[in-house]
Structures are given as C-alpha cells and as structure tokens.
Structure 1
Amino acid sequence: MTDWRIRDFQADDLDGILRLWEEVTATSTDPVYALSEVLASCQKDDAVVAVHGDEVVGAAVGRAAHAQGWIVFLATTKPWQRRGVGSALLAALERRMAPHGLTKLSALMPETATRVDAFLNRGFEIKNHLSYFERRIPVQGHEIRVLADLGGRILPRDLWAGVGGMVREKDLLERRLVMPLARPEMAGRYGVVPPKAVVLFGPPGTGKTTFAKAIASRLDWPFVEVFPSRLASDPQGLAGALRETFGKIDDLDHVVVFIDEVEEIAAQRGGEPPSPLQGVTNELLKLIPAFRERPGRLLVCATNFIRTLDSAFLRHGRFDYVVPIGLPDAAARQAIWERYIPDDVSGIVDLDALVAASDGFSPADIEYAARRASQQALEEALLAGADDSVTGGPTTSDYLAGIRGTRTTVSAQVAAEFLEDINRLARL
C-alpha cells in the first residue's frame, strides 16, 4: 500500500503548487508554461495532486482545447520521484479530463528534460522531428483597452527591415536602443542601463517618424503617438491632458511613446509676458523623470528645430541620446525609388540615374517626384489614345523630369544648420 494518495486540486493546495514550481525551476531549464498559466489552469481547468499527509508532493495540471488535451504541469518533489507518483498523477488527470471527449493528450517538455518515465509508463510516445514555435502576444488583457483608448497600436514586425539604406543611423539605433532594451538582463550584467528617452532631430521629411515606428516594430512593443495639437482641445488644458495621457501610458507593461514636433511643447522658456506654453513645458519636464522610473518603456521625441528646444529639456538625465537623422544616403534613395517604380518598368528604368539626380532629396521629395512622373506619363499615354491592352509605364526621362520639377524640402541653409546642430547638440 502506498503512503501517498491522489485527489482533485483544492484552493488550499496553491502553496504546494508554488513549492513544486520553485523546486522544478531551480534545477531545470525554463518550463514551457509560465507559472501564471499553471495557476490559472489549476483553478479553471483540470488538476490533481499527490499528498502525503497534508503535504502536496506532486501535481498534474491539464487543459482541454477542443478534442486535444495538454499537460500544462507535471512535477513531484525530489524525495517522491521514481516511486510511481508521476504515472499515477497522469492516470488520474486523464480520468478527470475524460468528460471533455479528448482524442489526444499531449505534453511539451524542454529538450534537456530527462525524467520522461512517467509519460512513457502511461503510453505517451515521444514524437521526433517536431519543432515548437512560440510567440508572446505583446498586449494582453486590460492593456488592449488602454492601448485602444490611447489610439496606440502594434506595428507590423517588418518595419525595421523596410528602412532601406541609412545604415549608419540604423546601426546606431540598433546598438544604443534596441539591443539593451530587448535584452535588459544581459545589459544589466554588463552594467548597461537600458535607455528610456531619445531625441531624433533633423530637417523636415527625413524619416524621423519612420525610425520611431521602426524601433517599436523591432522591439515588438506597442506604439503610442502623442499629438499635442489634439490634447490642446481637452477641457482640462494641454498640461492636464498631457499628464492624464502619461498616466494611462503607465498602465502598459511595454511601450514606445512618440511625440513629433516636440518643439511645440518644449520651446525655450522666458520672455515677458511668459508664453502660455511655459506651463506645458514645465509639465513635460516633470513627466519625463517619472516615465524613466519604469522599465520596458521608451520615449522618442522628434524635432525639426532642435535649437529652439528649452535647454533644460535636452540635459543629461532626461534624454539618453540625441540622434541626428539626415537626408537619405544613396542606398536609402535607391530603396525609396524602388518603392514607387511599377514592377512592369522596374528593370527598364535607370535607377542609378534617379539616385544620382535626387541627391539632397528627402523621402517625401522622392515620393512627390515619383508620383508626379507617374501622373504625367499616364496623362500622355491616355491623350495619345492608349487603352488597357497597351503595355507601358513611366520612363527614366519621365522620372528625371519629375525630379527637375520638384522643389527640395531641405535648402542649402537648412542643411548647413543641421551640420552645426550635429556638432553642437548631438549626443551619441
């Protein structure tokens, strides 16, 4: 006769489950199911425990998904291993789950797991040549409602790869921001504190918003854009609305917060009479330190006019890095052009000529020139009597004409001032 018995899980057994969990995770690799999932299944799904007297010495937890059942947790304390407890727990759990009408009962175990006797004794088969894939959903539970209320979203995961060219900027942001934020524990072992706030500055239309979104995409974190112009219409005023918005953001475990044209609410203070926005600037300066106290968050502020920002706004302790984002290099211009040239003519158009002719263009300038060329080519084809059966499209000449007809966003003076700002204010 055994000196242990098996019964259904009871609420008082939670402490015993926790002890089992701590013992298992202290001596093995990370389990497939998290502790929160195990505890939830104990209370909502199916669970049995092995007890010796009043002590829980083993437990098996299962979850039914349609006709398939999954073993969420199986463990016995070390003194009770190899005494048939595990096999008995699996048998009891299978009986408990029988009313679900299961056709299959499965278990996932770490590759390094060595104690599989209980499963083999119960007729489980080891399935080789299978791969286990897992993805953690970035936003869960109440966070979904918070994110929707803030107008935030989860961005596609391919945005980072979609930023063509700009190798220096991408490499810098990857090393300074993404790597320590994505691997905070490893960063901590090296004495690196993950960044909490960064300023992106540069001429208009150079892709600062694109980079902010790409960072969120790379991290797989929710992206929340704060629009000061929208908050200004709030009955409690811009400063109050800003404070309330950051309060809601605090309910998210991970988030990239983006404020574009931040100079609108963080311009130099001073003057008589004081500017009405000085109170907003003061509020933002107070919010940033509080924002920095929580892990798993990054504030990205973008500005076209960094020299107009309040000096207190840029000081060390508020922003970890101040990164220049300039006009696209040749590789970036090529990637942008490829985005707008139709597939039917992509092998015919002289891409190198377009890249060279558009030196000094912003991404927005290239988009305008490409669309202008396409529109002009379409009009000429229709006026010449072409119909849907005629193949064709914009030519190199059409695109070069579009380039010549485009007024660049960034003037020589603005470009020169940007270089001065890099020397004086950039912090990399």
Structure 2
Amino acid sequence: MSRTHIRDFHDDDLDGIVRLWETVHDAVATPVYSLAEVIASCQVDHAVVAVRGDRIVGAAVGRAAHAQGWIVFFGTVDEEVAKRSGAALLDALERRMATLGLAKLSVLVAGEGDPVEALTQNGFGMQHRLRYLERQMPVQRRELDLLKEVGGRIMPRHLWEAVAGMQHEKELLEERLVTPLARPDLAERFGVVPPRAVMLFGPPGTGKTTFAKAVASRLDWPFVEVFPSRLGDSPKGMAAGLRATFESIGDLEHAVVFIDEVEEIASRRRGDPPSPTQGVTNELLKLVAEFREREGRLLICATNFVRALDAAFLRHGRFDYVIPIGLPDAEARRAIWTRYVPPAIAETVAFELLVEASEGLTPADIEYAARRASQAALAEALRNPDAADSDALTTADYLEALGATRATVSEETADEFVDDIDSYARL
C-alpha cells in the first residue's frame, strides 16, 4: 500500500477535493459549508491534503476571520485514514494558519462521528451550549449591480409585523401570496399554485404600497418599483422603456415588482383614434403574460381607480387575485395613534376617543393630525417656556387637530369602493 503524506493544496487537487467532499457528505443531509465555499477557501485561504499515490484521501481547509480561524472542511475517505492522518492534517493546517496571529481555531460539525473524535483528540473542546444558525442572503453578489441598476432594494425585516391592525387584509395576503411563495412544498401538497401577479385596489392613502413592501419583506425578496411616470424618459418611448425594465428585472433570481398607479399605463383602450398610452397598455399585457412564466417573482400592481383599468388587464389568467385594501379598521387606527403619541403621555390619552373620531381617515390623515397636535404643543411651549407640565398634549389637543384635518377619502369615494369590491374583487 502506498504511503500517505501531507502536503499543501495545489490547484490540480480540485477534482480530488470535490470527490472527497462528496464521499464525506454522502451521509450528511446538510453540510455546514457548501462545496462552493470549500473550493473557494482552497483557492484563496488555507488548505492541506493527505495524498496516497495520486489520490486525495484527506483534507483540512481553513479560513481566518479577524483573530479567529475556522475549519470549513475536514474529512478523510475512511476510518483508517482518519486514524493515521487525521491529526497530522489538523496539525499541518494549524501550522499554516499560526502565522496569522489567531487567538483560536474553531470548527462546526454537522453531527457525531469519527471527525468529531479526531478533532477532540487533537485538542478541540466541545462547546455544548453553542448553536449553529444561518440564513441565506436575499441578494447574491452577482446581482447587486443589477439590483442597483433597476432601482431595487432590500426591504427592512419585520415590516410585516409593523403593519398593525388590518388583520383581515394581512391574513388574506399571508394565505394567498406569502405562504405559497415562501413554502412551495406546502402549497404543492394542497394543490395550490403560487401566484405570479396580483392587483391591489382601494382609495388613495390606504396602504397599498406599504402592503407591497411588507410582502417583499416577508418573503425576503428584493423590492423593485416601476414608476410609470418615468417610462417616458426612455429614448425609444414608454413601451420600449417598460420592456427594457422588465428584461433587466428578469435577470434577478427573486423579486417583488411593484407598479403603483398602474392605471396610468393600463387605462381603458377606446379604439380609434388610439390614445397615447394604448401601445404601452398592449405592451404591459404582453409582459404580464411573459412574467407569469417564470418562478421566483411576484408582480404587484396597485390602483386607486380600478374602474379605469382596461377590461383585458383584469381578465382571469393575468392576475391571480384582485384584492381590496380599504381604510384602516379600529385596531389599525389605534396602532397608528400609538405610534405617534409620545410614550410619556400615552397613559393620559383616551385612545378610544381618538380611534372613534378618526374613523374614515387614512393612515396618512391620522399621522397628519397627530403631528399637527404635537407641533401646536411645541409652539405653545416656546411661547410660554414657564408653562407647567399640565400644558402637555391632551386628548382634547388631538381631537382639535382631528377637527382641522380634511379626510383624503370622501364619503362618495368610500361608497364607490364598497361597490368596486362587489364588481372587481377576486379572492
């Protein structure tokens, strides 16, 4: 039998490393480090191999992060090599990395077995209270420039939880959009086809954009907003600009694409003579059909005027759901008030009165009233610097500010929205 010897990794060893990694992880469903990570560290970090004849029978690969070293791969083809060469491999890797001035050398393993025994025999101590956690980055490095080019961004986490109240809408979006896309295995089990495109409609200022961003945050997908008003900047026209934008987005692995005020480019076509946007509407209809053919993407369109949309645009087969987003309910209004009332006075404010008095207002209306009351109180404090604490904001101040706040949504618009739910909603 040929002698096994330890040496530094050479580029010609890559095939042997791949075969060794596959052998070692045959029985491990979820290796800690992927093959791509191991290969990258072999090439740019530190690696030693155990060689028998011209065959790689063992390897130890490490990388340094600040003052700590990590073993990203340690394995041998069989138990015999582990016993004879395991310690030598670890020693050789440690010598290579010692010059980096590391304070400790650490390793994560996927389970019990011979590799763990070889490590503990070589001075590694088991840390029983440690847990290994990981998460995928929402955008890979190769996509960063593209995401910037299309004006996309990663939404902050927890936006979903920040949408207080509106429980019915949240449950609807969770069931119809988020779960089938985030858990396709569960969707397939129940025969649910993950959505590709949805329409949100409702009065202005009711939170359609907020919900779209929250869905992207919940899915952990990049959020790309397409602005109809900017499509005219394309030298080849709006339709060409729209197609170019969608083609660029198509190179992203995942994306929530959002078009607000979509009625600007999807209004009713009225025949001869054609309207200036008719070509854009035709192009958008084609793009929605093409968009639906690929997985990992969700198109969310929003409109304040669902009645103005072209009939072909809302036809079955283009949008999976047409979802109404109305004015905030009582729970949502209370949550909005809680956000803007200073915590120091919250216990003295009668929120139930504010919730009742703000019925029919949008979130933006309530924010305006709250800020108006705060600004008025600050102005009064500047005029009377010696004022007592009793001059702080009160429920009456907020009610006064509400009285001076003009509702964005008129009663007529609110009534029309109720009719639109019967005519257009598809849940």
**CA 375–199 in structure 1, closer or farther in 2 if over 3 Å, else same:** same
**Alpha-carbon displacement from aligned partner over 1:254-293 (angstroms, at most 9, x marks no partner):** 2211111111111122322111111111222222233333
Change (3 A) 1:381 1:3: closer
Q: What is the match of residue 10 of structure 1?
A: 10
Q: Which residue of 2 aligns with 1:287?
A: 287
SS of the residue 2:348 aligns to: coil
Q: What's 2:404 paired with?
A: 405
- In structure 2, the residue matched to 1:142 is 142
- CA shift digits 1:198-219 (9 cap, x unpaired): 1111111110011111111222
How big is the shift at 1:72?
0.5
Segments of structure 2 that go 5 or more residues without pairing to the other structure are: none
Q: Which residue number in structure 1 is paired with residue 325 of structure 2?
A: 325
Q: Which amino acid aligns with 1:179?
A: T
Give the superposition deviation at 1:244: 1.7
| Unpaired runs of at least 5, structure 1 | none
Q: Taking structure 1 as reference, are residues 77 and 310 closer, same or farther at Cα in structure 2, changes over 3 Å only?
A: farther
Distance 1:79 1:299, change over 3 A: same
Give the secondary structure class of the aligned counterpart of 1:7: strand
CA 283–246 in structure 1, closer or farther in 2 if over 3 Å, else same: same
Q: Is the 8 A contact 1:50 1:58 kept in 2?
A: yes
In structure 1, the partner of 2:415 is 416
Letter in 1 for 2:399: L
Partner Cα distance (1:134, 1:388) in 2 = 54
SS in 2 for 1:313: helix
The one-letter code matched in structure 1 to 2:419 is: E
**Residues 1:13 and 1:348: Cα distance change in structure 2 (over 3 Å):** same
Provide the C-alpha distance between the structure 2 equivalents of 1:194 and 1:408, rounded to a whole number of angstroms: 37
- Pairwise CA distance, 1:134: 2.7
Displacement of 1:389 in angstroms is 7.3
Map of 1:232 onto structure 2: 232
- Indicate the residue corresponding to 1:250 in structure 2: 250
> What is the one-letter code of the residue matched to 1:66?
H
The aligned counterpart of 1:117 is: 117
**What CA deviation, in whole Å up to 9, does each residue of 1:174-222 have, x standing for no partner?**
1222222222344345543322221111111110011111111222222
Residues 262-271 or 8-17, more deviating: 8-17
C-alpha separation between the residues in 2 aligned to 1:420 and 1:332?
23
Query: Structure 2: how far apart are the matches of 1:393 and 1:356?
Result: 22
Is contact 1:222-1:256 (8 Å) kept? Answer: yes
Per the alignment, residue 296 of structure 1 pairs with 296
Q: Which moved more, 1:76-85 or 1:309-318?
A: 76-85
1:163, distance to aligned residue in structure 2 (A): 0.7
Amino acid at match of 1:172: L
Percent identity, aligned pairs only, is: 63
Q: Is the 8 A contact 2:381 2:387 kept in 1?
A: no
Amino acid at match of 1:288: V
Instruction: Indicate yes or no: 2:29 matched with 1:19.
Output: no
Instruction: Return closer, same or farther for 1:82/1:48 CA change in 2, 3 Å cut-off.
Output: closer
TM-score by length of 1: 0.92
CA contact (8 A) 2:225 2:257 kept: yes
Residues 376, 164 of structure 1: alpha-carbon distance in 2 compared, 3 angstrom cutoff: same
Query: Aligned AA for 2:43?
Result: Q
Residues 4-63 of structure 1 deviation map (CA, whole Å, 9 limit, x = unaligned): 333322333322222233333431131221222111111111122233333333222111
| Distance of aligned partners of 1:388 and 1:71 in 2 relative to their CA distance in 1, 3 Å threshold | farther
Question: C-alpha separation between the residues in 2 aligned to 1:6 and 1:175?
Answer: 56
Q: Is the 8 A contact 1:13 1:56 kept in 2?
A: yes
For residues 6-85 of structure 1, what are the structure 2 equivalents within 5 Å? 6-78=6-78, 82-85=82-85
- After superposing the two structures, state which structure 1 stretch, 264-273 or 371-380, moved more: 371-380
Question: Is structure 2 residue 133 aligned with structure 1 residue 133?
Answer: yes
CA distance in 2, matches of 1:392, 1:139: 51
Residues 200 and 323, structure 1, Cα contact 8 Å, conserved in 2 = yes
5 Å-filtered alignment, 1:78-97, equals 78=78, 82-97=82-97
Separation in 2, partners of 1:379, 1:142: 52
Runs of 4+ in 1 over 6 A off after TM superposition: none
CA distance in 1, matches of 2:4, 2:358: 80
Provide the residue aligned with 1:220 in structure 2: 220
Partner residue, 1:194: 194
SS of corresponding position for 1:116: helix
Looking at structure 2, the residues matched to 333 and 273 of structure 1 have their Cα atoms a distance apart, in angstroms, of 47
Evaluate the alpha carbon distance shift between residue 292 and residue 26 of structure 1 in structure 2; reply closer, same or farther with a 3 A threshold: farther
SS in 2 for 1:371: helix
* Residue 345 in structure 1 maps to residue 358 in structure 2: no
Paired with 2:23 and 2:94, the residues of 1 have a C-alpha distance of: 24
- 1:257-296 → structure 2 map (5 Å cutoff): 257-296=257-296
The SS at the match of 1:312 is: helix
Alpha-carbon shift at residue 382 of structure 1 (Å): 4.7
Change (3 A) 1:380 1:185: same
Kindly report the root-mean-square deviation, in angstroms, between the aligned alpha carbons of the 2 structures: 2.4
| Structure 1 stretch displaced more, 216-225 or 6-15 | 6-15
Distance 1:191 1:14 in 2: 43
What TM-score results when the alignment is normalised by the length of structure 2?
Answer: 0.92
Contact 1:28 1:113 in 2 (8 A): no
What do the CA deviations read for 1:294-351 (whole angstroms, capped 9, x no partner)?
3322211111111221222223332222211111110000011112212232111110
Distance 1:96 1:278, change over 3 A: same
Q: Aligned partners of 1:274 and 1:25: how far apart in 2?
A: 63
Distance 1:14 1:188, change over 3 A: farther
Aligned residues: 427
Structure 1 residues 388 and 124: alpha-carbon distance in aligned structure 2, compared to 1, 3 A threshold = farther
Distance in structure 2 (CA, Å) of the matches to 1:108 and 1:69: 11
Range with greater deviation from structure 2 (291-300 or 352-361): 291-300
The answer to whether the 8 A contact 1:373-1:398 is kept is yes
Q: 1:380 offset after TM fit, Å? A: 4.6
